Structure 1
């Protein structure tokens, strides 16, 4: 009896061990997918590549598309390697991957997929149709249907091509309305542009609020600007912040800049952030710096993953 119980105990332990191992193996691709997409959204392409490869190989179409985008960006063109991943994503009906491929069959499939969803009222699909044909009416439909990215891109188009709205006052009011609607709905790029347009850019309390909202989204550039403001980098010779009207808070500001420096490597402003961090440290005690890093870790836990919030497909800025 004792021997029988020992065998059963061993078998149950083995079952539990195998179950835990299977769970861990199953979770690994999903963890890689999540990590890869986060790094991709942050613009940390070199770090993202290995994680995206795991997810892409496991068949995740978002990882396949993102990996192809990384390869394209790093090479400066669509290589055969990138095409292979675009094809795999396109085989799973990823519209933007099909558009990147650009051949007749891929574009036809992309249009059919996008049109089917657009006919159901899908605003993102309407934006895909615009990206396919660059028809301004398609972009207007996407914006009217509630695509925040569509609203932002439409504002860019109106700003760059004055012939689309000949009347300057109407054009300005239309751009402002598009940006305000997208900003109020939480689109970070619209928040940034809207807060830098007259007369908002003259209203420092309101401009500061928009920056704080961007930082709350963990927009990497918003977080950095917020930290720089709190550390006094926008102050004039009289110690007055002329950009946002911030009062100094070195602990919080250092913590935010430190978080950006620690989280990024490929950010275009990384060197600037690092230099500002070193300058700020000269004004702080060891205890203050420790408190700042503690604040940064708390911020990281209580906010979404840091991101550049790039547009899904378009290259407009």
Structure 2
């Protein structure tokens, strides 16, 4: 006999089932967005597209912007697909998406949003204002306020345009100071440049410390350097090497293998694959197995592998 209590039980079971399925869908969307953004930040645009599409369709504005960037980069211009995703991100007040759209209304809205945050002392918003007007004074404000990307970009500007600081000693000191701040803050590009400028580039223990910092950030290019360093690729005739690392073929193979497993589009993939073949010649099967275990544990213990490109600027 179908009773009122039976109907209620059926409805409650249906509700619980819907809640469970909704939760599962949300979790899948979140996972796809996270993976898509990680692949995008690694420069693996083709791999990232499917995952980003899931996140972007679900309404994540960062995924929408990244997907717009993928289409724009592939076509080397603003396509209809790129405009579609930029438009959706822009509707959620994504400043850089508004800037990519480029029309007067979008740029004005971007300026209003960035200015409102900059007035609160937001350094990243100050950088957004610089990207809008390309005014060096605005870039200096962003750098002074603590934006690491602004510090790095300002260093590039000083290096490229000698008229900004005419005295060479003062200019080099300013570049070093900016790069040091950004490097200490963890901007991998700044670490790379700073560690390769004199006198740091002649202080091998310090260069090693900076490389180790990039390794912990899981910068894909740093991992390749580290794999080569512990694999004996940089060893001199007297047995020393460029960084002072102890040779460890298991770690070396693990780094190369992890890069080849994670990347497809980057040139570093080809380099790592070649290095992998080279080092494998001197290893046993057991060592190779241990290297893969090491690589998977490294992957679990560190942030997603990344190229650490700049958010908007095309600066080097």
TM-score (norm 2): 0.94
- Range with greater deviation from structure 2 (9-18 or 202-211): 9-18
Shift of 1:17: 4.3
Inter-partner Cα distance in structure 2 for 1:64 and 1:264: 22
Inter-partner Cα distance in structure 1 for 2:117 and 2:140: 17
Where 1:198 maps in the other structure, the secondary structure is coil
Deviation digits for residues 46-78 of structure 1, max 9, x if unmatched? 011011111111111111100000001111111
- Range with greater deviation from structure 2 (208-217 or 24-33): 24-33
Inter-partner Cα distance in structure 1 for 2:82 and 2:257: 34
Inter-partner Cα distance in structure 2 for 1:76 and 1:271: 24
**Structure 1 gaps, min length 5:** none
Inter-partner Cα distance in structure 1 for 2:146 and 2:169: 24
Inter-partner Cα distance in structure 2 for 1:304 and 1:166: 41
Shift of 1:238: 4.2
Shift of 1:246: 2.5
Inter-partner Cα distance in structure 1 for 2:301 and 2:8: 45
Shift of 1:16: 4.9
Query: Partner residue of 2:311?
Result: 312
Question: Map of 1:184-263 to 2, 5 A cutoff?
Answer: 184-241=184-241, 243-263=242-262
Inter-partner Cα distance in structure 1 for 2:88 and 2:262: 30
Inter-partner Cα distance in structure 2 for 1:283 and 1:176: 41
Query: Partner residue of 1:284?
Result: 283
Question: Map of 1:27-176 to 2, 5 A cutoff?
Answer: 27-176=27-176
Inter-partner Cα distance in structure 1 for 2:110 and 2:19: 41
Q: Say if 1:231 and 1:6 are closer, same or farther in 2 by CA, change over 3 A.
A: farther
Deviation digits for residues 87-128 of structure 1, max 9, x if unmatched? 111111111111111111111111111111111100000000
Q: Say if 1:5 and 1:142 are closer, same or farther in 2 by CA, change over 3 A.
A: same
Where 1:163 maps in the other structure, the secondary structure is coil
Where 2:183 maps in the other structure, the secondary structure is helix
**Structure 2 gaps, min length 5:** none
Deviation digits for residues 235-263 of structure 1, max 9, x if unmatched? 2344432x323231111111111111111
Deviation digits for residues 1-40 of structure 1, max 9, x if unmatched? xx99999998876665443222112222222211111111
Q: Say if 1:131 and 1:289 are closer, same or farther in 2 by CA, change over 3 A.
A: same
Inter-partner Cα distance in structure 2 for 1:4 and 1:227: 69
Where 2:163 maps in the other structure, the secondary structure is helix
Where 1:25 maps in the other structure, the secondary structure is helix
Inter-partner Cα distance in structure 2 for 1:218 and 1:307: 6
Inter-partner Cα distance in structure 1 for 2:228 and 2:218: 15
Shift of 1:138: 0.3
Q: CA RMSD in A?
A: 2.1
Query: Partner residue of 1:295?
Result: 294
Inter-partner Cα distance in structure 2 for 1:316 and 1:110: 21
TM-score (norm 1): 0.94
Inter-partner Cα distance in structure 1 for 2:84 and 2:209: 45
Where 1:39 maps in the other structure, the secondary structure is helix
Number of paired residues?
Answer: 315
